[in-house]
Chain A
Amino acid sequence: MLEVRGLNKKFGQVHAVNNLNFEIHKGEVFGFLGPNGAGKSTTMRIITCFIPPTSGSVRVDGLDTSAHDLAVRRKIGYLPESTPLYSDMTVREYLAFVGRVRNLRGGKLKSRMDEMFSVCALTKMANRQIGKLSKGYRQRVGLAQAMIHDPDLLILDEPMSGLDPNQIIEIRRLIKKMGVEKTVIYCSHILSEVSATCDRILIIKDGGIVATGTPDELTEGHKSGSRYTLRVKGDGQSVEAGLNSVGGVSGVSIDDARDGWHSVQVRTDTKEDIGESLFRHIVEKGWSLSELRRDQTSLEEVFTQLTRSGQ
């Protein structure tokens, strides 16, 4: 569906996109993640033919963006970062305008507009001026605008910004529904959003790819060890020394006892689960144990780990 090869974009001295290569398959919801200024929006602008790359190529459905830019633009629905809309038009006027620009006419235009009104829950707002809508509704108008021509590729740049949790769940459902038949590229720096919605994720930093894979692959692949949280009753110093001697443990931190119970954090440097050996060790020593939990590495940690500056 989308093929990006050796993509570079320079703005003067700034190398905004640096040799990007990736592929997106049909029917995927593809998460494009990165800290602010990583080159996400620039990449989207190149794919949507708003700006050309300095070098490299983008192919949408086999069509090169530089040679067939109008044909490519017909296949794409795009919601830019700040949801720019004509604020002096009503929702209905605006969607009719976009539909006509997209070559929809008569009955076809009307049915697509009706569908957008119901899909994006805009029916009540149809005759309101866009400038007077709340952020959430503006966002929905932006989405309706991007989907009105039933595009094969839907590109959403930060679609959730400014939405309340209920709206986020709604839009997320909408994106998942779209993703069944269509291809969706979803840009964000909010990780929980992306991991909840996307089939595959690409993390970029300073214009280059730092990781790519499914959310599970990413969390698994970049796990450099696990963390266990325990509550142990016993003598603080001997507990610390004792747990440190268990195989695989790389560090133990223990806080002061409260009613004899210590809260203990154990870090390991292996991928294996050492929960059982921790438990056995504690039982052997005759300490009491009220909690033993292995903390999951979240995508958040992977992200911070990968995109921390100076790495």
Chain B
Amino acid sequence: MSTVIAIFKKEFSSYFISPIAYVFIIVFLVGTNFMYFQPFFLINQADMRNYFGLLPWVFLFFVPAITMRSWAEEKKSKTLELLLTWPLSDAQVVFGKFMATLAFLATAVLLSVTIPITLFIIGNPDPGPIIGGYVGALLMGAAYLAIGLWISSLTENQIVAFILAWVVIFLLMIIGHPMVTMKIPSALVPLFSYLGLFTHFESIERGVIDSRDVIYYLSMTGVFLFLNAQSLGRRKSE
């Protein structure tokens, strides 16, 4: 466990060595705040439903940018060869890296705490859905991150990792969308809408944490982290 923490600390602090992380967080906060507050006084409701509704789309760009370098850079600079000859299991390395990306995402998301604070100052919102929304957003974020990390482990080019992660996440988002489910054979609809990253966010957006959604996001995260560890192992049979 302590070696996982060592990996986690190293990875997490590496985000803050360059100014890019700060730029990133600022762009994220300014962007989401702007999009949220623009129609805020028109809607005139003290809840964060619209904010959480933005997050799947914002994460679509934000998460691949967080994960693109995680493995690709290690492969390119060949540090992977050292990392994987240290006495760490593949699972420990994968988990340490994943936790670091999740902590980074959580930092950015939790810095938007200014929004609920504003709401409490100017209105009287229900705290339940807001807390639920944050928890749900991080669960969804974890699934996105696991996908992004897996894709980063398949290439040594960060740009390729970004674009591929974007595409895969986008596809997983829209397969549950009515746009797609209306066009496919009806037998496939339940499967597609179950697999869609989006479908599971609808209730979270309203602030309702359903155990089925939690299980879905956790299992997506698990599956892609497993694939990530597998792809590290695959170098072995190359």
Contacts and interface: CB of A to CB of B under 8 A. Distances in A.
A70 B81 contact: no
Given A97-B10, A100-B3, A78 B78 contact: no
Contact of A52 (B10, B17, B79, B236): B236
Nearest to A79: B82
B2 interface: yes
A89 B18 CA distance: 11
A101 B238 contact: no
Question: Which among B77, B79, B82, B237 has the greatest number of chain A C-beta atoms within 10 A?
Answer: B82
A288 interface: no
Contacts of B84: 50
Contacts of B9: 97
Interface stretch (A55-63, A80-88, A253-261): A80-88
Given A74-B87, A76-B85, A103-B3, A51 B238 contact: yes
Interface residues of B, number: 26
A162 to B, nearest CB: 15
Nearest to B17: A88
A51 B81 CA distance: 9
Question: Which among B6, B9, B236 has the greatest number of chain A C-beta atoms within 10 A?
Answer: B6
Contacts of A97: 6, 9-10
B219 interface: no
Given A88-B14, A101-B88, A103-B3, A50 B77 contact: no
Contacts of A52: 236-237
A71 B89 CA distance: 11
Interface string B53-88: 000000000000000000000000111111011111
B212 interface: no
A295 to B, nearest CB: 42
A88 B82 CA distance: 16
Nearest to A94: B10
Nearest to B7: A101
A101 B82 CA distance: 11
B238 A11 contact: yes
A148 to B, nearest CB: 11
B86 A101 contact: yes
Contacts of A86: 10, 14, 79
Interface of B: 2-3, 5-7, 9-10, 14, 17-18, 77-82, 84-89, 235-238
7 contacts: A71-B87, A84-B78, A85-B82, A86-B14, A88-B17, A97-B6, A101-B87
Interface of A: 11, 45, 48-52, 70-71, 73-74, 76, 78, 80, 82, 84-89, 97-98, 100-103, 105, 145
